[in-house]
Amino acid sequence: MNEDLLRPQGRYFEELLVGTVIRHRVTRTLTEADNVFFTTLTMNPQPLHLDHKYAAATEFGQPLVNSLLTLSLLVGLSVHELTLGTLVANLGLDGVVFPKPVFHGDTLRAESEVLEARESRSRPDAGIVVVEHRALNQRGEVVARCKRTMLMQRRPPR
């Protein structure tokens, strides 16, 4: 049997070289239902996400997509081509920013750039990788950015 058919879809530590940029293929259009469900599921009563009349009177003129939904989607869009089956653990998120608002109907895509990679000092079967994730809307504007530190599996010996 071909061993490559059994390998995880994500990338191993050795495949995540500093400077690598991955433009993730999966995109997602955010709907009002997504926003209302996520916002209420997380017990967030912010009217900016839930109340059309309230949001219409703000500088945005319409409801905003919950920024934590945007962040969750940003990380989720990266999974198939980055960490699916190769992530040991998320170690942290830093420098989370939302430079542009996200509205119902916006379609987001993601890209990830490897900023740092080093072998784990305590786990010989793993390495620590820091990526910058960026979410872009349909106009190519960056709407979210964060640094994610991950403990990644090393390629198993053949």
Tell me if 1 is assigned to some domain. no
Span 29-82, pLDDT tens digits: 999 999 999 999 999 999 999 999 999 999 999 999 999 999 999 999 999 999
Contact 78, 27 (CB under 8 A): no
Structure tokens at 17: 């070289």
pLDDT > 70 fraction of the chain, expressed in percent and rounded? 97
**158 within domain boundaries:** no
The vertex-96 CA angle with 94 and 97, nearest 5°, equals 150
Whichever domain contains 12, its CATH number is 3.10.129.10
120 within a domain of the structure (yes/no):
yes
Is there a domain that residue 43 lies in? yes
For the ranges 2-6, 96-100, 129-133, which has the lowest average pLDDT?
Answer: 2-6
136 is a domain residue? yes
pLDDT in tens, 101-144: 999 999 999 999 999 999 999 999 999 999 999 999 999 999 99
pLDDT at 139: 98
pLDDT given at position 158: 77
* pLDDT at 142 (0 to 100): 98
CA distance 59 to 56: 8
Specify the number of domains making up the chain: 1
Note down the domain range covering 130.
Answer: 7-153
Flag whether 46 is in a domain: yes
pLDDT of residue 45: 93
140 CB contacts (<8 Å, ≥6 apart)?
none
Q: Is residue 2, in this structure, part of any structural domain at all?
A: no
Task: Write down the pLDDT at residue 3.
Answer: 56
Q: Given pLDDT bands bounded at 50, 70 and 90, which one contains residue 4? A: low
